[in-house]
Amino acid sequence: MRREALLRSLVAQGALPDPAWRAAFEAVPRELFVPCYYLGTYLGHERRCRDDPGPGAYERWLDGCYEDVPLAVSMGEGELLSSSSQPSLMARMLHALEVADGMTVLEIGTGTGWNAGLLCHRLGEQRVTTIDVDPQLTDSARRHLADAGYAPTVVTGDGYEGCPERAPFDRIIATCALSAVPTPWLDQSAAGGLVIAPLATGVIALRVDEPGRGEGRFLSTSAYFVPLRGAGYRPEPLPRMAGVPGHVLADDSFRFLLALAAESLTAVEAYDVWRRERRPDRSRFGVTATAERQWAWLDDPRGPHRWPLPDGPPDPTG
């Protein structure tokens, strides 16, 4: 009942327009992948576990498994280390991946393994590779996937470096926040490949027209993920907020622009662009990435509004 209710909700939201992905969400139970999780409350985090013997605990745990919310599964000193992503966001990202039968996929950020399970149902386990830096997470994900009847290639390693021994990949999907697109992912993408990844509170869909080069626009949806952990990750710089009206700072579209261009623009400069361009939404922004440089842009990769991404050299035309 709970799984069916979640599925109906995702369909009603327009998050599952493809019958093949609807079948995957129907077939792969989230509950197998989150035996324990933390659910955020106004008092902090409530821990729910499948084997909790307390009165009503099992029902509360199962209810949470099928809420359309992210579920924290690993915490360290109060910091979120890993989570099971919000199902509606996962569905939208998987749809944006534009997979077809016979394609190979690399997932960066194994987490609980549920996303890998959905990919296995859609494409077949032999075509799915998933990688995470945390051996405890990859070990538990293998068990969860086995419980669901799947055995994809699960790698313990630095997701920033991709998985060269299994490359090239037709599709790469990341479930961790980035400050720029790692160059190894571009190198390991087949020509015509697609990279779907969270960046600057959005999700970029980067078409790799040739190995080592990609370009594409953001999806319209917002996205907040645990940062990529690995040698190549560098946190985004904190934006400078002075001089911007308080109500603007609370606007989601402005905060996205500010995060995307934080390396180049002060908050006042970002506010000027945002106001002149009539509050542009995420889908008007894009990214161009090569081995030498990466930059974000508004409307046109060669237009007047371009900003280097934090981990990349500057736009050569700027």
Same domain assignment for residues 293 and 178: no
- Mind listing the pLDDT tens digit for each residue in 107-132? 999 999 999 999 999 999 999 999 99
- Per the CB < 8 A criterion, the answer to whether 165 and 156 are in contact is no
Same domain assignment for residues 135 and 27: yes
- The SS3 assignment for 299 reads coil
Q: What is the CATH number of the domain that holds 20?
A: 3.40.50.150
Same domain assignment for residues 137 and 277: no
Domain coverage including residue 107: 2-217
State residue 242's pLDDT score. Answer: 56
Angle 248-250-251 (CA atoms, 0-180°, nearest 5)?
A: 65
What is the torsion angle, in degrees rounded to the nearest 10, for the CA atoms of residue 259, residue 265, residue 271 and residue 272? -150
Low-confidence ranges of the chain (pLDDT < 70): 41-44, 75-81, 226-243, 311-318
State residue 49's pLDDT score. Answer: 95
Residues annotated as part of the active site: 85
Question: Domains in the chain: how many in total?
Answer: 2
What is the residue-wise DSSP string for 181-225?
A: --HHHHHTEEEEEEEEEEETTEEEEEEEEETTEEEEEB-SS----
Nearest to 202 by CA among 262, 270, 259: 259
- Per the CB < 8 A criterion, the answer to whether 38 and 72 are in contact is yes
State residue 79's pLDDT score. Answer: 61
State residue 227's pLDDT score. Answer: 66
Question: CA distances (Å), 38 to each of 66, 72, 189, 290, 303, in order?
Answer: 14, 5, 35, 39, 44
State residue 140's pLDDT score. Answer: 95
Number of neighbours of residue 165 by Cβ within 10 angstroms: 9
Tell me how far apart the 2 most distant CA atoms of the chain are, in Å: 64
DSSP E strands: which ranges in 116-188?
128-132, 153-156, 169-174
Same domain assignment for residues 160 and 268: no
Same domain assignment for residues 159 and 301: no
Q: Could you tell me if residue 13 is inside a domain?
A: yes
State residue 315's pLDDT score. Answer: 42
State residue 317's pLDDT score. Answer: 42
Same domain assignment for residues 109 and 146: yes
State residue 311's pLDDT score. Answer: 57
**Partners of 206 in beta bridges:** 195
Q: Mention every residue, 6+ apart, whose C-beta is less than 8 A from residue 117.
A: 28, 32, 33, 144, 145, 148, 150
pTM of the model: 0.90
Q: Mention every residue, 6+ apart, whose C-beta is less than 8 A from residue 79.
A: none
Q: Could you tell me if residue 235 is inside a domain?
A: no
